[in-house]
Amino acid sequence: MACVTDPYTGQSTIGNAAKGAVIGAVLGGATGTAFGGNDLKNAGW
């Protein structure tokens, strides 16, 4: 994941691309499970 340091606060934050990747992975896994199939198989086990 890409962390970005906020120049104003100096705090480390997660970049937008990383947020999108996490959201996409979660939604993709949830969609696969919702439309049937083995949960572990969908998760790549």
Pairwise CA distance, residues 16 & 22, whole Å: 10
Domain boundaries, the chain: 3-34
**Upper half-sphere CA count for residue 28 (Cβ side, 13 Å):** 9
Q: What is the pLDDT of residue 45?
A: 61
* pTM for the model: 0.43
The set of residues, in sequence order, having a beta carbon less than 8 Å from that of 25 and lying 6+ positions away, is none
Strand spans (E) along 1-45: 3-5, 12-14
- For 1-45, how does the pLDDT look when each residue is reduced to its tens digit (9 = 90+)? 567 777 888 887 777 777 888 888 888 877 777 776 666 665 666
Pairwise CA distance, residues 16 & 33, whole Å: 26
Q: What is the pLDDT of residue 38?
A: 63
Pairwise CA distance, residues 43 & 30, whole Å: 10
Q: What is the pLDDT of residue 28?
A: 82
